[in-house]
Amino acid sequence: MKKPDIRLIALDMDGTVLHTDHTISKENERAIKQAIAQGVEVVFATGRHFSTCKAYAASLGINYLITVNGGEIWTINGELLDRNTLSKEAVAKYQKLYNRYQPWTWLVSKDRVWRNEQPDRLENDTWLKFGFDVSDDKVRENMIQELSEEKSIELSNSSPTNIEINAVGVNKAKAIEKLCAKLDIEMNQVMAMGDSLNDIKMIQEAGFGVAMENAQDEVKKVAEWVTTHHTKDGVAEAIDKWLLS
């Protein structure tokens, strides 16, 4: 396989660059810093809120963060470059399903993350992402079916048992395109790495898509290459092989 021309590396965090204890290994840190030293722009493309990933980015010298599945784009200095919020219809659909199934939830507003709790009046806040965690396969399938009927939302997941809800058209790939336009980089010069359904579009649309060994099968099917497990420094292996070697 021909070595790709890489000018930007987009990294998912959980299940990709982070180990199970939510730390960045020495090997992953080394590879990321070497890539940056070679002039490659390394960015996080994560489902996390900016507040929960800024410190990781700062420790590595990363300048840009794509957060809440592409709902926001930030600079490391806290400048908001782009934001996409959920519609009133999406909020109403979330509330309807929550009332019916009472699943474990997390809600991401522009200001904070609510974990298995929520404000009294959802309509009074600005929402970026909703999430459900549902261990019962049948219930989860029913919820996905109902959510699919709402045209103002985009569905993905960050693990096999959860459902993540963003505004329609919001995904990591679209955010990477916007950032690339700002940086004068082409999508075919992007290497993207991830493990879950919220990574599929960026892996498909990047010039070189990498799935983790621990990735969901659907993600592996669309990747150009599968690296080792996230607990075995798969990010470092991919950067070493396709950029640094």
Catalytic residue numbers read: 12
Distance between alpha carbon 215 and the CA centroid of its chain, in Å?
Answer: 13
- Pairing between strand 208-211 and 190-194? parallel
- In order of 14, 28, 56, 161, the CA distances from 23 in angstroms are 10, 10, 9, 23
Count of Cβ atoms closer than 10 Å to residue 104 Cβ:
13
Instruction: Provide the angle, in degrees to the nearest 10, between the axes of the packed helices 88-101 and 137-148.
Output: 160
What the block records as the tokens of 180 is 């690339």
Count of Cβ atoms closer than 10 Å to residue 50 Cβ:
22
Q: Can you point out the beta strands (E) in the chain?
A: 8-11, 41-45, 64-67, 72-75, 80-83, 104-109, 113-115, 127-133, 153-156, 162-167, 190-194, 208-211, 225-226
The whole-angstrom separation of Cα 46 and Cα 178 is 15
Alpha helices in 14-136 (DSSP H): 26-37, 54-60, 88-101
